């Protein structure tokens, strides 16, 4: 605000000096605005964007080439003004007067971005009960018909399920049985580990029930919920009302964890409740040791545990990539979905800390486009008091899971007094590593031997090249996501904006002049097209959802930073 006032006063001073020098009277000041008008006028400083000073210098003719008309006028007037404060004031005021249109253009662009953002924030909210569950339903295990086992991991088992009130999936492009019968790996909905059974995904079971293994949390509901509170971070607002009644206390006060608002690329826990451990199909063979003694005399589990009800997804990202190699455009959209999900986590002060292709779920829209959802929050950092910065005072502090895809600043941290690990860009780094898998290359941080890299010791120059079929901007973006130094690493928001502009920017970024007005015109066109697609339901639902996410998170500075980077990369090629 102080800078804005100073610029305004400088511009007025410059105009006054200029009028006096030309021999005329300065124009009368504008009449003051009514108090009511000033009260409702948003008081926000004009946002700065990268390259603004360079553009300003170009407007004044200070960067080479032919001088601007403003500079020519100043050169003609300068010899007539004696040296001293008056000449310096004239120069400064004239420069600010010439810059004022640019500042006004940026201010208008910022206000346009905020207006678009306001419209799409409301439209970007997912359906509260996407599978037809009602507020007082689904809080008892007896209400569910449990089918086959989907898989098991190191901390849970998951089963397909349905209820009389559950709605079936509406996706028309569903994977066939033979696509997934041969897979044998980790399952995202169980938290990793070997699959005990991977059969055909059946449309008659739209729900998945995740049964946590309770070895040390006791048998009280309060103890179980507190011990497994990380699993509840993506739970919906009504997911726990079955445990606490109609009035649910704030989860932050009960568990000390942050609440993650719904997002299209984040799994949503629809119901969470505690119940007695049942003897489910395959339990005595697949996980006998964690059963309670009432079901297995040698079992060490407690008789009561936590159950999570979620949407049932056809496959994981790992399974999808084992069967298919997406084209460059589709692969870019898949990476973009992960970045949108990670940006949502960062905005809410949550770090997943266990991103891998086994923890990404996939569904398909009517056009057959894969929609990606981040799941399994058992290792997440979501403490309401520390946010994304974890005090690392000893080796006993949990830094997360999946050491292969642990960001360099996390894996190389040494504990000690005052040491803090910043996770604000750790998940973004993991997305960069997974991008290799999505784009048809081997993940360089998997495996052993000379070809594999370690996040602890690799250098930026060691990253292997991506296939030539991958667009240049995507290759450069992946390299910036995997920078060892988090200060040089792109944020998830800027990286997502780059991919949005790369996919749908078109001719907007092919011009040399990236003026705010040009960008706003493109944003308005995208907004209208997205609203019409939402209204009439044409095209890919995944693509439309991505555009809604982009427009709901519009920030002037982040958008122009992304545009400047993308434009510089394309300029090098041309």
- Active-site positions read 354
d(CA 446, CA 31): 68
Phi, psi of 2 (to 5 degrees): -65, -40
Q: Mention every residue, 6+ apart, whose C-beta is less than 8 A from residue 300.
A: 215, 289, 290
Please report, in angstroms and rounded to a whole number, the separation of the first and last CA atoms in the chain. Answer: 40
Query: What are the angstrom distances between the C-alpha of 52 and each of 70, 407, 486, 564?
Result: 18, 33, 25, 11
- Mapped onto helix, strand or coil, the DSSP state of residue 198 is coil
Q: Mention every residue, 6+ apart, whose C-beta is less than 8 A from residue 400.
A: 351, 353, 354, 379, 381, 406, 410, 426
Q: Which residue has the tokens 């939402």?
A: 534
- Contact yes or no for 279/295 (Cβ under 8 A): yes
- Contact yes or no for 439/467 (Cβ under 8 A): yes
Phi, psi of 272 (to 5 degrees): -140, 125
**Strand residue runs (E) in 386-432:** 389-391, 420-422
* Ordered alpha helix ranges (H), 124-199: none
Counted residue by residue, the chain has a size of: 574
Q: Which residue has the tokens 């000033």?
A: 38
DSSP code string of 428-444: HHHHHHHHHHHTTS--T
The DSSP H or E segment spanning 311 is: strand 304-311
Angle between helical axes of 472-481 and 328-347 (0-180°, round to 10)? 30
Angle between helical axes of 541-552 and 492-504 (0-180°, round to 10)? 130
Phi, psi of 149 (to 5 degrees): -75, 130
**Strand residue runs (E) in 353-495:** 360-364, 370-374, 389-391, 420-422
Closest to 131 measured CA to CA, from 188, 203, 199, 180: 203
């Amino acid at each position: 605000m102080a800078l804005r006032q100073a610029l305004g006063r400088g511009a007025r001073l410059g105009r006054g000096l200029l009028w006096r020098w030309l021999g005329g009277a300065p124009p009368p000041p504008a009449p003051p605005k009514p108090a009511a008008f000033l009260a409702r006028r948003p008081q926000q400083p004009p946002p700065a964007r990268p390259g603004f000073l360079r553009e300003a210098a170009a407007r004044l003719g200070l960067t080479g080439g032919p001088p601007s008309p403003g500079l020519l006028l100043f050169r003609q007037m300068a010899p007539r003004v004696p040296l001293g404060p008056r000449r310096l004031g004239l120069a400064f005021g004239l420069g600010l007067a010439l810059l004022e249109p640019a500042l006004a253009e940026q201010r208008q662009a910022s206000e346009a971005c905020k207006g678009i953002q306001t419209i799409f924030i409301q439209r970007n909210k997912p359906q509260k009960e996407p599978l037809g569950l009602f507020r007082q339903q689904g809080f008892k295990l007896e209400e569910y018909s449990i089918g086959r086992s989907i898989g098991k991991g190191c901390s849970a088992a998951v089963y397909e399920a349905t209820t009389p009130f559950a709605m079936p999936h509406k996706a028309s492009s569903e994977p066939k049985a033979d696509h997934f019968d041969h897979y044998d790996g980790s399952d995202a909905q169980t938290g990793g580990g070997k699959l005990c059974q991977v059969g055909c995904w059946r449309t008659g079971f739209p729900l998945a029930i995740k049964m946590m293994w309770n070895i040390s949390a006791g048998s009280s509901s309060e103890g179980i919920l507190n011990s497994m509170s990380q699993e509840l971070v993506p739970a919906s607002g009504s997911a726990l009302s079955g445990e606490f009644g109609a009035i649910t206390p704030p989860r932050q006060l009960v568990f000390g964890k942050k609440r993650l608002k719904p997002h299209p690329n984040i799994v949503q826990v629809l119901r969470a409740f505690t119940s007695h451990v049942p003897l489910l199909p395959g339990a005595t063979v697949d996980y006998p040791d964690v059963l309670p003694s009432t079901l297995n005399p040698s079992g060490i589990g407690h008789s009561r545990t936590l159950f999570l009800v979620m949407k049932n997804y056809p496959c994981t990202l790992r399974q999808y990539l084992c069967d298919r190699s997406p084209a460059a455009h589709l692969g870019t959209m898949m990476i973009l979905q992960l970045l949108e999900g990670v940006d949502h986590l960062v905005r809410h002060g949550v770090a997943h800390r266990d991103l891998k292709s086994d923890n990404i779920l996939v569904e398909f829209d009517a056009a057959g486009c894969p929609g990606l959802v981040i799941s399994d929050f058992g290792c997440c950092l979501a403490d309401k008091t520390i946010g994304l910065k974890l005090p690392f005072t000893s080796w006993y502090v949990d830094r997360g899971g999946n050491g292969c895809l642990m960001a360099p600043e996390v894996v190389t941290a040494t504990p000690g007094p005052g040491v803090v690990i910043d996770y604000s860009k750790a998940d973004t780094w993991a997305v960069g590593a997974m991008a290799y898998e999505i784009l048809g290359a081997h993940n360089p941080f998997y495996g052993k031997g000379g070809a594999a890299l370690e996040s602890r010791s690799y250098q930026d120059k060691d990253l292997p090249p991506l296939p030539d079929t991958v667009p240049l901007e995507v290759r450069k973006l992946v390299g910036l996501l995997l920078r060892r130094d988090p200060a040089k690493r792109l944020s998830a928001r800027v990286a997502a904006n780059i991919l949005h502009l790369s996919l749908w920017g078109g001719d907007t970024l092919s011009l040399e002049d990236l003026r705010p007005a040009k960008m706003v015109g493109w944003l308005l066109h995208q907004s209208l097209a997205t609203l019409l697609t939402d209204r009439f339901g044409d095209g890919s639902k995944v693509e439309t959802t991505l555009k809604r996410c982009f427009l709901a998170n519009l920030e002037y500075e982040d958008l122009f930073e992304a545009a400047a980077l993308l434009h510089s990369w394309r300029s090098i090629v041309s």
